[in-house]
Homo-oligomer: A and B are copies of this chain.
């Protein structure tokens, strides 16, 4: 995404314009509704949208979406022609699908609970890894959070090259795994460098399983010092 425009500061920027046009409560929901449930009239649309639109707002949004070429109607002269997607609206569907998939994975039922996601905790941990201290052979910490039993995260450690976050099991030999289990609330302070490993292990806020040598060494792979500024990623 390095190609995401040159100088967003001053230039005309299509992305910014798109947010201005579509960054509101209803526009994208209308597009989705028309895709999922097909062409519909005004009232059906109003009833189908999640959580009640007022008629005046829906009317205004539809005018705008027509103007932008996202939505059209079959016969512009008829009053009761159903609304349906026009080319710009059809072309937006892959983007909406992408947003949907992102949302399925990342939008928590309760916003405040996002920090319980194992990937987020693995992320915090990854930023405290001291690469020179990790084992020479590739090693994985598999992170399970009891508050979020459905997802796990894997932190792949390698002396050459920084730590890597994985959404799937990287599949190393069983002997190279450390299994970390904890409540999110117990792991978070450790991952953030606000509490020591030894304290957390002592009161079982964090538990480690696997080859005894690896388990014993795990705390030494991390620093409690403030994490460095991340290197900007390429992709």
Closest B residue, CB atoms, query A225: B75
Please determine whether A75 and B226 come into contact, CB atoms closer than 8 angstroms.
yes
Please determine whether A35 and B1 come into contact, CB atoms closer than 8 angstroms.
yes
A60 at the A/B interface (Cβ < 8 Å)? Answer: no
Number of copies of chain A assembled together: 2
In angstroms, Cα B214 to Cα A124, docked, is 66
In angstroms, Cα B68 to Cα A152, docked, is 18
Q: For A98, what are the chain B residues with a Cβ–Cβ distance below 8 Å?
A: 94-95, 98
A221 at the A/B interface (Cβ < 8 Å)? Answer: no
Q: How far is the CB of A81 from chain B (nearest CB, A)?
A: 8
- With beta carbons under 8 angstroms apart, the residue of B64, B68, B115 that contacts A69 is B115
A216 at the A/B interface (Cβ < 8 Å)? Answer: no
Q: For A28, what are the chain B residues with a Cβ–Cβ distance below 8 Å?
A: 19, 23
A104 at the A/B interface (Cβ < 8 Å)? Answer: yes
Please determine whether B111 and A68 come into contact, CB atoms closer than 8 angstroms.
yes
A16 at the A/B interface (Cβ < 8 Å)? Answer: yes
A57 at the A/B interface (Cβ < 8 Å)? Answer: no
Please determine whether A36 and B19 come into contact, CB atoms closer than 8 angstroms.
no
In angstroms, Cα B165 to Cα A139, docked, is 52
Please determine whether A235 and B93 come into contact, CB atoms closer than 8 angstroms.
yes
Sample of 16 more A-B contacts, CB < 8 Å, known A5-B36, A15-B100: A14-B107, A15-B99, A20-B25, A21-B107, A21-B111, A39-B232, A67-B111, A68-B106, A68-B108, A69-B106, A69-B114, A75-B193, A78-B226, A90-B233, A91-B105, A95-B95
